[in-house]
Amino acid sequence: MAVKQILCVEDHADTCELISLVLKEFTVISASTVAEAVRKAAAQKFHTYLIDFHLPDGNGFELASRIRTFDAETPILFVTGTSSISEAQALERGANGLIKKAGLRFIEELREKVSQLLLS
């Protein structure tokens, strides 16, 4: 079985590095902007998208909307430190959930949610 691929869209490279260490059973590909993420998502198959909210050239809601124009099925999780979006808003925008980076259980929650989406 091929290793499942995750697109981590985050303007802080160290966050994607941490995510790739936490989710070492998957291949984590990084993108740091909306434009780069759209290019990568359109060019290859991913099994889930992990999207930060604040990006240099837009926000996670815009990116999720653009991805949904050509990929309606692949799960999207917002992974953000911002307090200005809620789980309900993330779900309204076509995501499958929201993980807060600032939470005490960030790493455990990341593992749990990604595993639920990709290993079930």
pLDDT digits (tens, 9 = 90+) for 52-111: 999 999 999 999 999 999 999 999 999 998 888 999 999 999 899 999 998 789 999 999
Q: Count other Cβ atoms within 10 Å, centred on residue 42.
A: 12
Whether residue 120 has pLDDT greater than 80: no
- pTM of this structure: 0.94
Spatial contact of 27 and 4, defined as CB atoms under 8 Å apart: yes
Sign of the Cα pseudo-torsion (89, 91, 93, 95, in order)? positive
* pLDDT tens digits, 35-51: 999 999 999 999 999 99
Widest Cα–Cα separation across the chain: 39
All domains in the chain, ordered by first residue: 5-119 (3.40.50.2300)
Q: What is the pLDDT of residue 1?
A: 57
Token pair recorded at residue 46:
């991913």
